[in-house]
């Protein structure tokens, strides 16, 4: 596992530049800079104290896992496969309010779906699975692929509907992903509290392994916990080792699409 950090700031003096170049072992230009670094590296060890005294930003941007760490996990978070931006609704908050019950206009936290998901007909190309870059916790699957793969795992589906038309989307089905009834141990993880509904959501940055669920006898679930920032709120999608390894085997997903829980 490699935790990636990003050091960034403004180089506004010659001495600052020299200190940074010595610590990072790279050449830097004057002005704004940003450099990604492995938390375990010697360079990071050199710069972490400097970052404070030089007024630099130092933050985690994500975690890279080894294939072995992914293979050994019983449950994994699905990071998403192919993502398409189109067709995005003009008013995401309104969309959320129309699609889910009790959707908070401030933080986006919501209850269960109350109406079919509406979208335009997607252009899947060669992809079998699709996600939308404005909604992170729904998975859309090419119809035949649903029948030959997800249905065998006992996973249900919903019809997505064409935007403002009373007919189903032709290419894909939406997976019906149940919500976990268990809570995860989120102790120590950063969260924000909504000023309107007072519910909490966790910072979506992945730092190390995802908290292991208290039970593993399922194939796919959404976490009860919400993640996100601003108006966006989503659940993480948990998948079994079996689904992960099958998706990787048939090249519908790659190892890096998964975060192991431990």
Please, what is the minimum distance in Å from the beta carbon of residue 222 to Zn ion? 18
Residues 66-105 that bind Zn ion (CB under 5 A): 104
Q: Which residue has the tokens 């102790």?
A: 187
Residue with Cβ nearer Zn ion (7 or 107): 107
Residue with Cβ nearer Zn ion (89 or 108): 108
Q: Binding of Zn ion at residue 106 (CB under 5 A)?
A: yes
Residue with Cβ nearer Zn ion (197 or 212): 197
Please, what is the minimum distance in Å from the beta carbon of residue 197 to Zn ion? 3
Taking CB under 5 A as the rule, which mask of x and - marks residues 171-210 in contact with Zn ion? -----------------------x-xx-------------
Please, what is the minimum distance in Å from the beta carbon of residue 107 to Zn ion? 3
Please, what is the minimum distance in Å from the beta carbon of residue 106 to Zn ion? 4
DSSP secondary structure, 204-223, as one string:
----SSBPPPS----SEEEE
Smallest CA-to-CA distance from 177 within 43, 52, 80, 66 is with: 80
Cβ atoms of 89 and 213 within 8 Å: the answer is no
CB burial class (10 A; 0-12, 13-18, 19+) of residue 106?
middle
β-strand pairing of 129-132 with 83-84: parallel
Q: Binding of Zn ion at residue 56 (CB under 5 A)?
A: no
Among 107, 237, 239, 253, binds Zn ion (CB under 5 A): 107
Residue with Cβ nearer Zn ion (51 or 107): 107
DSSP secondary structure, 11-60, as one string:
E-SHHHHHHHHHHHTS---SEEEEEEEETTSHHHHHHHHHHHHTT-EEEE
Across-strand partners of 239?
A: 76, 220
Measured CA to CA, the distance from residue 138 to residue 249 in angstroms comes to 22
Residue with Cβ nearer Zn ion (197 or 207): 197
Contacting positions for Zn ion (CB under 5 A) = 104, 106-107, 194, 196-197
């Amino acid at each position: 596992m490699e935790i990636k950090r990003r050091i960034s700031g403004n180089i506004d003096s010659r001495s600052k530049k020299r200190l940074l170049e010595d610590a990072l072992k790279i050449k830097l230009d004057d002005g704004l800079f940003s450099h990604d670094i492995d938390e375990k590296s010697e360079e990071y060890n050199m710069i972490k104290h400097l970052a404070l005294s030089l007024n630099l930003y130092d933050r985690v941007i994500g975690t890279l896992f080894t294939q072995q760490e992914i293979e050994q996990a019983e449950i994994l978070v699905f990071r998403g496969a192919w993502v398409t931006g189109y067709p995005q609704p003009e008013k995401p908050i309104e969309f959320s309010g129309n699609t889910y019950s009790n959707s908070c206009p401030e933080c986006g936290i919501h209850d269960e779906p109350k109406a079919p998901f509406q979208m335009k007909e997607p252009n899947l190309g060669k992809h079998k699975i699709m996600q939308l870059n404005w909604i992170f916790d729904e998975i859309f699957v090419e119809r035949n692929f649903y029948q030959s793969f997800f249905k065998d795992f006992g996973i249900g589906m919903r019809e997505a509907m064409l935007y403002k038309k009373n007919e189903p989307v032709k290419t894909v089905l939406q997976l019906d992903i149940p919500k976990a009834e268990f809570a995860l141990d989120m102790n120590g993880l950063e969260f924000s509290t909504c000023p309107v509904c007072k519910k909490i959501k966790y910072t979506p940055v992945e730092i190390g392994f995802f908290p292991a669920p208290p039970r593993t006898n399922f194939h796919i679930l959404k976490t009860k916990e919400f993640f996100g920032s601003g108006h966006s709120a989503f659940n993480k999608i948990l998948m079994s080792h079996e689904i992960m390894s099958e998706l990787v085997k048939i090249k519908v997903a790659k190892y890096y699409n998964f975060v192991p829980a431990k």
